[in-house]
Amino acid sequence: MALSRRARLWLIAAGAVIATLLAVLLYQNLTVGEKRIQHQLPRLYESDDAEFRRTLSSLLGPQIVEGNHVETLLNGDRIFPAMLAAIRSAQHTITFETYIYWSGRIGREFVDALTERARAGVKVHVLLDWVGSIKMEPELLEEMRRAGVEVERFHEPHWKNWEQMNNRTHRKLLVVDGRVGFTGGVGIADQWLGDARNPDEWRDTHYRVTGPVVAQMQAVFLDNWVRANGRVLHGEAYFPALKPAGNLAAQMFSSSPQGGSDSMQLMYLLSITAARKTIALSNSYFVPDDLTIRTLLDAARRGVKVRVLVPSGHIDSETVRKASRGSWGPMLEAGIEIAEYAPTMFHVKGLVVDGTFSSVGSTNFDNRSFRLNDEANLNVLGADFGGVQLEVFERDWARARRITLADWQRRPLAERFWEQLASLLHTQL
């Protein structure tokens, strides 16, 4: 039956309303409404000045606390056994937040360890990003829930939170009994198994933390746990009194669009601006915006040795790699050294400034981490820890291929075209 003219007009109007709503939701998901940092920061102090430390605590927060120990764990062969041993030792509580959780051998091991502790009476809370855990078998989730594990999935699609679908939790946090914490870049998937010996074994770094800063790690987990289900975890089982465990000063720094989307980028900009001698940056997704590039260029021009280590063709997002490479010209011209890690996918996220300030954790050097995702980095002040991170950086650098300005200028036209095309997506990378 043919529709009347009035019915057709109603259908057109309804379609226009639906299209408008979808456009609004898409706009809300692809943009951050806050003002962005637009001007380069003035250089007021250096990385080893007391004022730099005060700024990290007062402007960015939380307070830097003394008495911490941080152990550097390289690759799955050392990372996963340490995390699983901590889980199996739990007596009271386990809080665990991660982006990537896929099915596979290591995913099964973590489920077995978490469910065993839950059946033993330990309170176990697991927060998984919905997008990052989409490859996880539903049976594993149900198995944990049947054992008593509280499992939440961050920003699972629902009509109530459509405008937040582009906001993911990219944080990697594990806290056991409120006393031992883990953070870094590793996800729960078989790609991280091994020791970066071949393209099937990803290169990554994670950190085991003890001391007062673990309470800050627990608080960062709680931030998203409350957002996911409204339940507050507190008391001695989650926040015990913590004694000094080492000689490092540290803070657990976090960011989210809800709590100030530019705060993570501001922390990086302050650190780069304070650099006096060296900057060693390792990052798996290096897509700096114009302001960040200008800040790096300014550091290079005042004599800071800047080195950036990124993935090679072994990468899980070729679009990111192309968008990254298209921006390298001005940095290479200024003397910034860039190298691509050759053996396998390079998933490390770390910054070391002057060997004394280190920032390690989940944050990529791109717009998605700076403005769209929830991220968490452990900031550590201390030459001992910084020295270890530089040793690791040097070993990785030795296995990388340096890209010279001449190399970059010889790129084929087709490659340049795809780089320009990829750069159009830089706000979402």
In angstroms, the CA 182 to CA 237 distance is 17
Residue located via tokens 């999935």: 153
Beta bridge partners of 69: 210
Q: DSSP for 318-387?
A: HHHHHHHHTT-HHHHHTT-EEEEE-SS-B--EEEEETTTEEEEES--BSHIIIIISBEEEEEEE-HHHHH
Task: List, in sequence order, every residue forming a beta bridge with 160; answer none if it has no partner.
Answer: none
Residue length, the chain?
429
Closest CA to 363 of 291, 423, 287: 287
Alpha-carbon distance of 169 to 154, in angstroms, equals: 7
Helix (H) or strand (E) holding 141: helix 138-146
- Give me the half-sphere count of Cα atoms (radius 13 Å) on the Cβ side of residue 351: 26
Q: State the catalytic residues.
A: 170, 172, 177, 347, 349, 354
